[in-house]
Structure 1
Amino acid sequence: MEQNGRDRFEIPKEMRSMAEAGFDQARKAFEHMLSSAQQTANAIEGRGASVREGAKDVAAKAVSYAERNVTVSLDYAQQLLHAKDLTEVMRLHTEYVQGQMKALAEQASELGQIVSRAAMDAGRPKE
């Protein structure tokens, strides 16, 4: 099975060198891709924690607002029960509506700030 002193299936040195160089390049590219994928996965995992923390903050604030709004509404209903006349009912109603409008505007603003902060934290690269 020899031909000119060589094994018929022997790969010339130049081709072997080219194949090895190509293989080394492919291995390095694969290792780089794998490293990048791991870094991306870690970044996403970190952002997930930030998003969960932000969601907790929003939920806690929303529950706090709901408790406050229910308490104010119950107080208003109790005051209406003790009103002596229509003038007092109208005054209580005006005060309640104005107070609730102001409170809702403040609550919406605060929630917007919390959501914005959470979004910025989630988008910030982990160190």
Structure 2
Amino acid sequence: MVDTPQQLPTQIRDLAEKNFEQAREAFLGFIGAAQKAAGSADALPSTAKEAVTKAMTFAESNVNAAFDLAQKLLHAKDVQEVFTLQAEFAKSQLEAIQTQAKDFGESAQAAFNSIAKK
């Protein structure tokens, strides 16, 4: 049987954390630019703007949750903790996606009703 180390070596963990922070900063820059672009889309009806804003908020929330998981995984002490973190993440994301889908569906319906009234 192969003896596997339970923790990442310090140098690898430090490099992973540095890369992790760079990825988070890149995402924050991207999402900021996307939100600015979405906010300046004056040609869109207000209901469509709201839907775009909501979609951006959901995407940002979901990616932040993934970044949070990655940060926790970097500091996991053993494989059992990794599995526990992954299971908790999967459960919370499933709940979040269900809530987001319901909310987005209601917004889409409101936008459709607004357009249909015209």
Once residues 118 and 75 of structure 1 are traced to their aligned partners in structure 2, the CA distance between those partners, rounded to angstroms, is: 33
Amino acid across the alignment from 2:60: E
| Deviation readout 1:68-126 (Å, 9 max, x if unpaired) | 1111110100000000011100100000011111101111110000000111111125x
Amino acid across the alignment from 1:59: V
1:93 is aligned to 2:86: yes
Structure 1 unaligned residues grouped into runs of 5+? 1-50
Amino acid across the alignment from 1:78: Q
Once residues 71 and 50 of structure 2 are traced to their aligned partners in structure 1, the CA distance between those partners, rounded to angstroms, is: 32
After the TM superposition, which parts of structure 1 deviate over 6 Å for at least 4 consecutive aligned residues?
A: none
Task: State the TM-score, normalizing by the size of structure 1.
Answer: 0.56
> Which structure has more RCO (C-alpha within 8 Å, separation ≥ 6)?
1
Shift, 1:52, TM fit: 1.7
Amino acid across the alignment from 2:100: Q
The 5-angstrom pairing of residues 1-127 of structure 1 reads 52-125=45-118
Once residues 67 and 88 of structure 1 are traced to their aligned partners in structure 2, the CA distance between those partners, rounded to angstroms, is: 26
- CA RMSD in angstroms comes to 1.6
Amino acid across the alignment from 1:71: N
Structure 2 unaligned residues grouped into runs of 5+? 1-43
How many pairs are equivalent?
Answer: 76
